[in-house]
């Protein structure tokens, strides 16, 4: 008897194609894999078909063939290929139809199979382990005296590997996971035991954090209204003293034709555009260390050099004025391109002494007073669209840092003739 062929998952396999040293480039002799392909399929397989077979069954291991047929020896099957079909035959060329067979798979079957003429045995869903298939045959004959005894069984041994979740390393992983879960459970229990002890302390911490958070909100709100130095004085004393600061640079801005523009926009659109502009002005002031004082309608007022005096207040304010001018100009170009109404701005700057402080008890605000404020306002109203107009006192402080154009003496409301300069560039 011989085993002729082995199929896996009821699929014919060209076993020579699964060998690493399978040679299909021999131009003299027909390679064994080609011979096997023709024997099984009646034609050589294409390269794509061979690659597909290798991809599907490439994880099957064996280390050679039997003597007469391409039957893999020491076959090791992965668990996903755990169905096997064995084709066998007895050597009885004259009356092969009178041959009868039985087979028995040790570890799988409980007893020998029923006697039949079938020359194929199929075993599906084989559990992991090593199995030995035994096959025997006998000649039934046509008369009682011709009946033969069973032949000596032939054997074929193969192994099915376990799925990954039943391998030794998987069981090791399960053990580690169990130990980890046990440790987590112990830690969880310890944590639960601590919770009751810590509840009161945690409540105190939460309440304290709430108080601190509310205090921070109040402080942040106060700092949004007042300079930090003034706010700290107000918190400490309940009041803040007004101060005379000798050198402060005041900035005023105003939009040209605001009233006429307001008639073209809805209230919502108007307030939205103002908010965008003044929010950007606020950012610019913060960037240059300048204190925003207030907005009055469409006017914006800020001052450098207070509440803490410094030596750079004039140049800081001029730099901020340039950024404001450029921001409004960029917005103007976008609005023109979209066919929408746009803002144009005048900017005035003056340097001098001011009195700074807070007044009132409701809706308190930090403000500045003095002729310097009035003169800065006149610098703005006497300026031109898109220009930074500064007074002579401011010019004396920035002339070495910025290129300025002398405008001459310009008449300012309530001030008479005042020397003014346009700041052109750095």
Give the gyration radius of the chain's Cα atoms: 49
Alpha helices in 226-251 (DSSP H): 228-237
Task: Look at residue 277 in the predicted model and tell me its pLDDT.
Answer: 93
> Is 54 among the domain residues?
yes
Task: Look at residue 216 in the predicted model and tell me its pLDDT.
Answer: 78
Task: Look at residue 195 in the predicted model and tell me its pLDDT.
Answer: 87
> Is 236 among the domain residues?
no
Number of C-beta neighbours around residue 330 at 10 A:
10
- Taking the C-alpha atoms of residue 297 and residue 294, their distance in angstroms, rounded to an integer, is 10
> Is 279 among the domain residues?
yes
In the chain, what is the straight-line distance between the N-terminal and C-terminal CA atoms, in Å? 105
CATH, residue 88: 2.60.40.10
> Is 91 among the domain residues?
yes
The residues, any chain, with a CB within 8 Å of residue 299's CB and separated by 6 or more, are: 252, 253, 254, 380
Residues 307, 358: one domain? yes
Domain holding 141, by residue range, is 2-163
Residues 151, 283: one domain? no
Residues 413, 266: one domain? yes
Which phi and psi angles does 87 have, rounded to 5°? Answer: -100, 130
Return the residue matching tokens 């290929």: 81
> Is 234 among the domain residues?
no
- Taking the C-alpha atoms of residue 368 and residue 284, their distance in angstroms, rounded to an integer, is 20
Q: Looking at the annotation, which residues are catalytic?
A: 378, 413
Task: Look at residue 175 in the predicted model and tell me its pLDDT.
Answer: 95
Q: Find residue 3's DSSP bridge partners.
A: 88
Tokens representing 201 are 């302390």
- Taking the C-alpha atoms of residue 90 and residue 137, their distance in angstroms, rounded to an integer, is 7
Residues 114, 219: one domain? no
Return the residue matching tokens 């919770």: 195
Residues 159, 182: one domain? no
Residues 89, 105: one domain? yes
Q: Find residue 388's DSSP bridge partners.
A: 347, 423
Q: Report which secondary-structure segment, H or E, holds 27.
A: none
Residues 420, 278: one domain? yes
Domain count across the chain? 3
- Taking the C-alpha atoms of residue 326 and residue 329, their distance in angstroms, rounded to an integer, is 5
Residues 115, 193: one domain? no
- The dihedral through the CA atoms of 392, 396, 400, 402 has a sign that is negative
The residues, any chain, with a CB within 8 Å of residue 33's CB and separated by 6 or more, are: 14, 16, 17, 19, 22, 23, 24, 50
Task: Look at residue 22 in the predicted model and tell me its pLDDT.
Answer: 53
DSSP string, 298-345: TEEEEEES-SS--S-HHHHHHHHHHHHHHHHHHHHHHHHHHT-----E
Cβ atoms of 131 and 160 within 8 Å: the answer is: yes
Q: What is the mean pLDDT of each run of 10 residues along the chain (426 residues)?
A: 90 88 56 86 91 91 85 93 92 73 94 93 94 91 63 93 91 94 92 86 85 78 72 72 91 88 85 92 95 91 92 95 94 91 93 88 83 93 93 94 93 90 86
Residues 284, 407: one domain? yes
> Is 231 among the domain residues?
no
Q: Find residue 350's DSSP bridge partners.
A: 250
> What angle (nearest 5°) sits at the alpha carbon of residue 287, between those of residues 281 and 289?
100
Residues 254, 200: one domain? no
Task: Look at residue 395 in the predicted model and tell me its pLDDT.
Answer: 95
Residues 142, 174: one domain? no
Cβ atoms of 105 and 140 within 8 Å: the answer is: no
CATH, residue 351: 3.30.70.1230
């Amino acid at each position: 008897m011989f085993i002729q062929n082995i199929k896996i998952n009821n699929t014919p396999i060209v076993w020579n194609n699964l060998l690493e040293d399978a040679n299909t480039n021999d131009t003299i002799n027909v390679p064994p894999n080609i011979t096997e392909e023709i024997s099984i399929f009646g034609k050589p397989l294409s390269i794509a078909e061979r690659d597909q077979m290798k991809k599907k069954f490439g994880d099957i291991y064996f280390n050679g063939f039997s003597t007469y047929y391409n039957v893999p020896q020491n076959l090791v099957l992965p668990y996903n290929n755990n169905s096997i079909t064995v084709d066998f035959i007895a050597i009885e060329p004259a009356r092969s139809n009178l041959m009868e067979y039985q087979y028995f798979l040790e570890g799988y079957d409980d007893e020998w199979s029923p006697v039949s003429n079938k020359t194929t045995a199929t075993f599906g869903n084989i559990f992991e382990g090593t199995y030995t298939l035994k096959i025997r045959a006998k000649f039934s004959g046509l008369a009682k005296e011709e009946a033969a005894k069973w032949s000596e069984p032939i054997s074929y041994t193969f192994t099915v590997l376990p799925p990954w979740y039943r391998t030794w390393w998987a069981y090791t992983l399960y053990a580690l996971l169990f130990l980890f879960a046990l440790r987590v459970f112990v830690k969880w229990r310890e944590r639960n035991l601590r919770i009751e002890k810590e509840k009161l302390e945690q409540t105190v911490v939460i309440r304290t954090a709430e108080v601190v958070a509310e205090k921070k909100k109040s402080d942040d709100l106060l700092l949004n209204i007042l300079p930090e130095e003034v706010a700290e004085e107000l918190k400490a004393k309940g009041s803040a003293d007004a101060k005379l600061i000798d050198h402060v640079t005041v900035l005023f801005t105003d939009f040209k034709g605001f009233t006429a523009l307001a008639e073209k926009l809805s209230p919502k659109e108007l307030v939205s555009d103002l908010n965008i502009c003044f929010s950007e002005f606020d950012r610019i002031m913060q960037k240059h260390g300048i204190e925003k004082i207030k907005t009055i309608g469409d006017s914006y007022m800020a001052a450098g050099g207070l509440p803490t005096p410094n030596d750079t207040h004039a140049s800081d304010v001029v730099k901020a004025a340039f950024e404001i001018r450029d921001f409004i100009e960029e917005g103007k170009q976008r609005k023109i391109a979209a066919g929408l109404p746009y803002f144009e701005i005048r900017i005035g700057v003056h340097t001098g002494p001011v009195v700074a402080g807070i007044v009132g008890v409701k809706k308190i605000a930090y403000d500045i007073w003095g002729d310097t404020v009035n003169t800065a306002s006149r610098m703005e109203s006497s300026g031109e669209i898109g220009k930074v107009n500064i007074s002579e006192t401011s010019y004396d402080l920035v002339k070495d840092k910025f290129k300025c154009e002398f405008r001459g003496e310009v008449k300012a409301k309530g001030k008479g003739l005042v020397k003014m300069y346009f700041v052109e560039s750095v």
